Amino acid sequence: MSLRGEVCVVTGAGGFLGKTLMRLLLEEERVAEIRLLDKEVKPQLLQTLEDCRGDTKLTVFEGDIRDGEFLRRSCRGASLVFHIASIIDVTNSVEDSEMYGVNVTGTQLLLEACLQENVDTLIYTSTIEVMGPNSKGDPIINGTEETVYECTLKFAYSKSKKEAEERTLQAHNEELPNGRRMATCALRPMYIYGEGCRFLLGHMGDGIRNKNVLYRMSRPDALVNPVYVGNVAVGHLQAARSLKDPQKRNVVGGKFYFVSDDTPHISYSDFNHAVMAPLGFSIQQKVIVPLPLFYLFCVLMEIVCMILQPFVRVVPPLSRQLLTMLNTTFSFSYQGAKRDLGYAPRYTWQEARKRTTEWLASQLPQEREKIGAK
């Protein structure tokens, strides 16, 4: 099913995944228009897309996703929305009200705008973290959409994404003013890496400060399966094609799908080393502090922060939940997306790693300069 002639809205267009998805839309689908919706869209972004724009119209909508009228203007006359925008935070550094306002209220207002403006298709970018892991660190190996896992979510981020995902899926089959019905689905990518990943830059900066030695925060046997940003964009494209296909619309609509690829199952820390080793980085052999002591440190930090909370808001550098996430085997299969969406990873692990390492290499001089390292 082609998306030719569609008018697409991409929320979070200026972000890591948004930029990759827009380029894919321009290169593979002759969409009539892409509306770049974000709080700020830098002029350079439009310039980077000029080489593949063709006849597609690019329109910028800058504003707050919590502004319902702004969203209605953005969606007026559109036929397809990729809702990527959200606040991502696993350190609890963002106020819960801010997180909920953007991730949940913003999603609800966008759904309402779609319903009011006859937008019949919406793909929501969720996250693997709506599954967990739970506080006990119970593992999942090659989980599927049918996997049952008991988890009380601790991160405000995870809770907000879970609620936004549920609201999106509940909106499937809602009737539009023009008599058609809306179709929605949600994609749950693994940890996304690739060109533009700010988390990788952060880890590289820490490694530079530590004399080119990456910190080990994950046990080597705590295996996860990161996914390359290009493959996540392909998954979004396949989801859109499926929802636009009358024969697949009700098969896919109202459901969520995991998006992974053939990146090897590896711990978070060892993954950082895999993409940075060619740049001269080594990695610590063991977790910097024995995990039981690490957990105790986190508990003490949380108590101190709680005591200080009436006077000043202090965010601990590490929480028990984040430490659990970094040290829990948690991997998921993309077979459900392959079966229903026709998704298949386009970029191999070798190509994805090469692209990511080359991008990190291009950022290395300025990161060293910023830190003041030789």
Taking only Cα atoms into account, the Rg of the chain, rounded to an integer number of angstroms, comes to: 21
Q: Which residues of 294-329 are buried (b: 16+ CB within 10 A; e: fewer)?
A: bbebbeebeeebeeeeeeeeeebebbbbbbbbbbbb
Contact 333, 260 (CB under 8 A): yes
Euclidean distance between CA atoms 360 and 303, whole angstroms: 37
Look-up of token digits 């909508």: 61
Euclidean distance between CA atoms 224 and 328, whole angstroms: 8
Euclidean distance between CA atoms 39 and 60, whole angstroms: 10
Euclidean distance between CA atoms 271 and 269, whole angstroms: 5
Euclidean distance between CA atoms 101 and 169, whole angstroms: 19
Quick check: is 157 catalytic? yes
H or E element: which one contains 258?
Answer: strand 256-259
Look-up of token digits 């509306």: 35
> Which residues share a beta bridge with 38?
62
Q: Which two tokens stand for residue 149?
A: 């896992």
Among 100, 124, 149, 157, the active-site one is: 157
- 153 φ, ψ to 5°? -65, 135
Which phi-psi region, left, alpha or beta, contains residue 305 (left: φ > 0; alpha: ψ -120 to 50)? alpha
What is residue 262's three-state secondary structure? coil
Alpha-helical runs (H) found in the chain:
16-28, 43-49, 68-75, 96-100, 106-116, 156-170, 198-209, 229-244, 249-252, 268-276, 291-308, 320-326, 335-341, 349-371
- Give catalytic residues, as residue numbers: 157
